[in-house]
């Protein structure tokens, strides 16, 4: 069985992700002259295999706090029915050969559970509202300028990554105004957020008229990705 891997970042990088150059697997940091891999969409198996293949190599990456300080390993693969059949047959043969022997139960195994650091718990409890900007053909819009405001105060701003995505960390329920600049046009969207965990929403832009295309009301569903297309108000 493969040994688990644990990711720990005692001294996180302070470079601005939004100012880095988008590349295929993440972004390129011009200050450090290194590629920064975006591991947020990786499964545990993908993350484990990548780190094993690059063992001993210095890696820069972006991860969710939920991927830190826990064991990462390849999920256990169940044995085939044929293997279980032969295993059961061997047990029958063993017990048949010693019918007079007494069988004693093993002592319970002591399990030591370590308490997570309170700061780690707080980080993992934070939710992420992930927004992907797409054009009318459902292709991502990278490097679009976005500004998110709530009660006329800027919550976050920057540029979308190579997949047209940006995120709002630990959002509060309420209405957010999303201002987007792309293709020389400006779009405004109203986003109505209700409390949920790690929601992912698509906003579809239509540049046919090159104007504010109206209001989008997004009601999150924790199990799905919601897509909304709006047309100009007449």
Q: 144-159: per-residue pLDDT in tens?
A: 999 999 888 888 899 9
- Helical H segments across 61-191, by residue range: 81-97, 118-124
- The number of domains in the chain is 2
* pLDDT range class, residue 90, cuts 50, 70, 90: low
* pLDDT range class, residue 138, cuts 50, 70, 90: confident
Containing 19, the helix (H) or strand (E) segment is none
- Strand, helix or coil at 32? coil
Residues 6+ apart with CB under 8 A from 29: 15, 20, 35, 36, 60
Query: What's the pLDDT at 159?
Result: 93
Query: What's the pLDDT at 205?
Result: 80
* Residues 141 and 53 grouped into a single domain: no
Its domain, for residue 101, covers 1-125
CB 176 within 8 A of CB 168: yes
The model's pTM is: 0.38
* Residues 182 and 150 grouped into a single domain: yes
* Residues 14 and 112 grouped into a single domain: yes
Output the six-digit token pair for 225.
Answer: 């990705």
CB 167 within 8 A of CB 159: no
Q: For 83, phi and psi rounded to 5 degrees?
A: -65, -45
* Residues 117 and 137 grouped into a single domain: no
* Residues 66 and 140 grouped into a single domain: no
Pick the closest to residue 219 from 195, 203, 197 (CA basis): 195
* Residues 105 and 190 grouped into a single domain: no
Q: Is residue 234 part of a domain?
A: no
pLDDT tens digit sequence for 7-36: 877 788 888 888 889 988 889 998 888 889
Domain boundary among 82, 110, 125: 125
């Amino acid at each position: 069985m493969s040994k688990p891997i644990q990711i720990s970042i005692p001294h996180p990088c302070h470079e601005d992700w939004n100012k880095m150059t988008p590349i295929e697997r993440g972004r390129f940091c011009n200050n450090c002259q290194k590629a920064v891999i975006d591991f947020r969409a990786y499964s545990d198996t993908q993350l484990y295999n990548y780190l094993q293949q690059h063992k001993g190599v210095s890696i820069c990456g972006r991860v969710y706090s939920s991927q830190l300080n826990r064991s990462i390993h390849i999920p256990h693969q169940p044995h085939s029915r044929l293997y279980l059949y032969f295993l059961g047959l061997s047990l029958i043969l063993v017990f048949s050969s010693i019918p007079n022997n007494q069988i004693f139960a093993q002592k319970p195994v002591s399990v030591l559970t370590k308490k997570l650091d309170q700061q780690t718990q707080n980080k993992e409890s934070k939710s992420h509202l992930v927004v992907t900007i797409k054009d009318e053909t459902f292709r991502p819009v990278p490097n679009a300028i976005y500004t998110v405001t709530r009660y006329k105060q800027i919550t976050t701003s920057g540029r979308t990554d190579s997949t047209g995505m940006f995120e709002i960390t630990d959002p509060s329920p309420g209405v957010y105004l999303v201002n987007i600049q792309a293709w020389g046009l400006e779009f405004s969207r109203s986003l109505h957020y209700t409390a949920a965990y790690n929601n992912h929403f698509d906003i579809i832009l239509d540049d046919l008229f090159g104007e504010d295309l109206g209001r989008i009301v997004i009601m999150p569903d924790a199990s799905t990705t919601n897509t909304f297309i709006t047309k100009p108000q007449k």
